Every structure is written in C-alpha cells, then in structure tokens.
Structure 1
Amino acid sequence: MKVIVAGMPKTGTKSMNAALKKLGYSVYDFAENAFLLGDHYNKIAFEGWTTQDFWDMYENVDAVVDFPAHFFWDEIHKAFPGAKIILTTRSSEEEWLRSLEKQVAMNDGSVLFKLMPWLSPTSRKSMGALALLGQVIFGGTSKSILGSKTHLNKQMVVKRYRQHNAYVLHSAPKDKLLVYNVSEGWDSLCEFLGVPVPEEAFPHKNKGGNIVDTITTDFPIFSKIQREIIVSSIVVSSSAVLTGVVLYKYGVSGIFSHARGCWDFLTTKIVLS
C-alpha cells in the first residue's frame, strides 16, 4: 500500500481512481472494497478489527479510495505506515452536499442498484456491512424496505463531512498528507507522489453523478453482478411460470395432495430401509 485516499465519497474519488491508475498504481475503489473484500468488511462492521485485518486486505494493492475504506484510513495507515495520505475535498460543504444529493437521487432511480441486493449473491453478502457502515459514516441515512427511497439527513451528513476532514487534518502525519482538489490537475498530485506528470489530460470521472455508467464500464466486478442478476431473473421467472402451470393444472388442493403423497412415499421408504 502506497497511497491512501482519505476523502469522503463525492470528493472526486472516481477521478482519483482513474488518475492513480494512469500513474501506474493498482487501485481498490468502492467496488473492490465492497465486493471483493465483502467478507472482511462484514467482520469489521459486526465484530471489530485488528491492524492485521487491514494488512491482509490491502497488502497486494498500491492505492485505496472511496467508501468504506476512506473511513478506516487511519487503521489502514497503521498497517502501512509508509503510505502517503491524500485528503480529497470540494470547494465548499454546500458543493459537496449538492453532489451527494444528486448521486443519491440517481442511485435511487437505478434499476441495477435496486436489483443487486435481491438477485446478486456477490452483492447480497456485503449489503449488511455496507448498510451499517453507511449509517455510521453518513449519520443516519436509510432506505425503505424495498430500497426505493433514501432518506438523507442533510445537516447530519454535512456535520460528518466536516468531522471527517477535521480528523484527517488533525491526525495524519503532516509530512505524508496532501489536501487536494481534483480541479488542481496533475501537478500538485504528481509532485506529492514523486512521479512524472503524464502528457494526457487529467481524467475527470463521474461528473454529474452518473455513477451507474461509470461502474458498469470501469469495474469488472459489476459485469459479474449483472450476470448474476440475469441468471437469477431467469430462475425466478421460470419458477413463477412453473408454479402457475402447476396451480392451473392441479389447483392448491391438488398440490398439497401430491406433496402428501411424495412425503408418505419417502417416509415409507425410510422406515422399510
């Protein structure tokens, strides 16, 4: 681990992911943190953690960005004390909140995001930890039971943003910390990391909060999740059709009669054996 991006979501983390990759770093972003490391974050969320846990999670990765890893930046730094820390920020709290609100609205309108917890095993095994950590990190955001609407406590999330940034500024070693806005481009970032400035323009990702397009093209794990959703949808649809055919042919009483016959047959076989 060489670089820990400690900035909150909606502070240019997708741009940082792309920029660090262009600079030659291997990067774990939200998708990898949430789904490849889902079992680890389940343990962290519900049981607690050790420094060794974070070493095991990130020993083969150069850089980490975004939720939920940004919240544990200090624990990750304990495991990798030589790593540099980048606190990504927005120009104001109000700008950050507007960006977060737009992102939440787009997430709520995404069919993919709605189906993931129900039809993707890869996604579902991480949902408990992510939901709990989201409550802790953002201060009381919650979804309805069907995941159709996210309640955002604006005052609380701004307070959390302020507290998080203040903690990083107070606690991170000053000689290893860069406070950075992605609008600055390559120069200050590359100087801090000690690497040459690329010739191509600095990448600006997820502008306008269109995260669905970004993750489905930039993160291979979401191709797996989409395949799982398709397969699960086929299984559910086939089961529904089969159930309908059986109900039409036998009726409810007929189904129970056939089930009872099968049960009697199996129990008789067991007794005779």
Structure 2
Amino acid sequence: MKVIVAGLPKTGTKSINAALTLLGYEVYDWLENFWYLGDDWVRQIRGGFKVEDMKRMFENVDAAMDNPCCIHWEEIFDAFPEAKVILTVRDEETWYRSLKNHFRALNNDIMFRLMLAITFTGRRLNMFLVETALPRTFYDMTSRRPWPWEAFNLRNKEGNVKLFRRHERLVKQVVPKDQLLVYQVKDGWKPLCDFLGVPVPDLPYPHKNKRGKLMEEMKKQNPLMGQLVKEFKISLACLCIVLAIGLYITITLVPW
C-alpha cells in the first residue's frame, strides 16, 4: 500500500482515482473493495479490525479510497504506517450540496436499484453497502435498511458539516505532516506529483463525476460495473421469459 486517500466522497475522489490510475497506480475504489475484498470488510466491521488482515487485504494494492476505506483509513494506516495519505478537501457548502445531489441521483437510478434487487452480484453488493456504507460507520447508525442511503439525514446540513469537519481534523491530527497532502483537485498535477515523487504527465488532469454522473460513467467505463450490468440484462431476460411462459400457460391451459 503506497497511498491512502482519506477524503470523504464528493471531495473529488473519482478525479484523483483517475489521476492515480494514469500515474500507474493500481487503485481500489468502492467497487473494487466490494468485488475483491467485500467479505473481508464485512467480517472486520462485524468482528473487529486486525492489522494482519489489513496487511493481507491490501498488500498488492497501490492505493485505496472511498467507502469503506475513507472511513477506516486509520485502520489501513496502522497496517501500512509508511503509506502516504491524501486528504481531498472541498468547500463545505459545495460539498454538502454535491452530497445531496449524489444520493438523490442514486435513489432515482431505477436501473441501479433493480440491479441490486434481481441479480446475485447486485444482492451481494447491496448487503456490502448496508454493512459498510457511511450511515452505519461514519454516522454510527445501527439500523440495517434495505436501501442504505435512506439512512442519511441529508436535510440536516449542520450535522453533516460537523461530521465533515471532524473527519478532516482527525486526519490532520493523526498523520505526520511529511506523509500528508491536503489536496483539492483544482490544484492539478503538480502538488500531487511532487508529493508522490513522480514526474508530471503531459496529460490534462482528469475531472470525473461532474454533476453527479458517477453511475453513468461507471456503467460505461468500469469493467466491474460492466459485469454487473451484463448480469442484470441476463437476469432481466430470464425474468421476462419466465413471465412469458407463465402468461402463456395461464391463457392456453387454465380453464376459464
């Protein structure tokens, strides 16, 4: 583990994911954490974190970010104390507004909700999100709702901003200054590359998830999400066939 991105969602994490990937790092975002490490994360959250388990989980990973890593960044840092930590930050007002838009978009994404409901992998993903998502960990909520983001009290701006500030303070207090970069994606390549000790690439800095388009981007670009979409289409086709057969039997064989 070389880099831990401790910034909360909606602080430019998808952009820095793309930037680190362009720099040659293997990055585990929330979807990779589910796909490859989901059972490990659920086991640790339920039973307590162990340094040796964290070392095993991330020994071949260059960078980790987003949920649940941004909440449990300290447990990862305990296992990899030489890692560099990037705290992505953002103006509080803009962050809160973006957070609300993000979860509103997720709640309104009918295809994504159906994927979580009717596919095997989708149901596993939903269980992972219920167990590890921010409402259970960052917000210290104990209820296991079938749709985890419903647990957010997004109307409570003051409470959300307090949690945002508390998270930033903790990262700054714990991480040694020479291992910490407080970073805004608008700063571009130079401070990031200087911190990592790598040359600045001759490429525009990537800007992802603009205006809450995360799921649309991931469905098109992320191979793991692509696999989930493929599974959804197969499940939907099978469901349509079963319904068609049931309708045919009902019409032709059942006496009226």
Work out the percentage of aligned pairs sharing the same amino acid: 39
CA gap 1:77/1:176 in 2 versus in 1, 3 angstroms:
same
Letter in 2 for 1:239: V
Q: Once the 2 structures are TM-superposed, how far is the Cα of residue 250 of structure 1 from its aligned partner?
A: 4.6
Residues 45 and 129 of structure 1 are in contact (CA less than 8 Å); yes or no, is this contact kept in structure 2? Answer: no
Offset from partner CA, 1:53-79 (integer Å, 9 cap, x none): 222221111111111111111111122
1:221 aligns with 224
Letter in 2 for 1:226: V
2:67 aligns with 67
Q: Distance in 1 between matches of 2:31 and 2:73?
A: 17
Offset from partner CA, 1:26-75 (integer Å, 9 cap, x none): 11112101222221122123333211222222111111111111111111
Residues 6 and 71 of structure 1 are in contact (CA less than 8 Å); yes or no, is this contact kept in structure 2? Answer: yes
Q: Distance in 2 between matches of 1:141 and 1:12?
A: 28
2:116 aligns with 117
Figure out how many residues of one structure are paired with residues of the other and give that number: 252
Q: Once the 2 structures are TM-superposed, how far is the Cα of residue 112 of structure 1 from its aligned partner?
A: 2.7
Residue aligned with 2:85, SS: strand
Residue aligned with 2:25, SS: coil
Q: Distance in 2 between matches of 1:142 and 1:218?
A: 33
Residue aligned with 1:70, SS: coil
2:181 aligns with 178
Q: Distance in 1 between matches of 2:128 and 2:111?
A: 19
Q: When you count helix as a share of all residues, which structure comes out higher?
A: 1
1:152 aligns with 153
1:191 aligns with 194
CA gap 1:5/1:145 in 2 versus in 1, 3 angstroms:
closer
Residue aligned with 2:41, SS: helix
Residues 136 and 143 of structure 2 are in contact (CA less than 8 Å); yes or no, is this contact kept in structure 1? Answer: no
2:26 aligns with 26
Residues 141 and 150 of structure 1 are in contact (CA less than 8 Å); yes or no, is this contact kept in structure 2? Answer: no
CA gap 1:203/1:47 in 2 versus in 1, 3 angstroms:
same
Q: Once the 2 structures are TM-superposed, how far is the Cα of residue 118 of structure 1 from its aligned partner?
A: 1.1
Residue aligned with 1:16, SS: helix
CA gap 1:133/1:145 in 2 versus in 1, 3 angstroms:
closer
Residues 141 and 152 of structure 1 are in contact (CA less than 8 Å); yes or no, is this contact kept in structure 2? Answer: no
Letter in 1 for 2:170: Y
Cα RMSD after superposing both structures: 2.5
1:246 aligns with 249
Residues 42 and 132 of structure 2 are in contact (CA less than 8 Å); yes or no, is this contact kept in structure 1? Answer: no
CA gap 1:234/1:106 in 2 versus in 1, 3 angstroms:
same
Residues 114 and 148 of structure 1 are in contact (CA less than 8 Å); yes or no, is this contact kept in structure 2? Answer: no
CA gap 1:147/1:81 in 2 versus in 1, 3 angstroms:
closer
Q: Distance in 2 between matches of 1:167 and 1:62?
A: 23
Residues 89 and 180 of structure 1 are in contact (CA less than 8 Å); yes or no, is this contact kept in structure 2? Answer: yes
Q: Runs of 5+ in structure 2 lacking a partner?
A: none
Q: Distance in 2 between matches of 1:82 and 1:148?
A: 34
Offset from partner CA, 1:199-233 (integer Å, 9 cap, x none): 11211111111102221233110111011101111
Q: Runs of 5+ in structure 1 lacking a partner?
A: 253-273
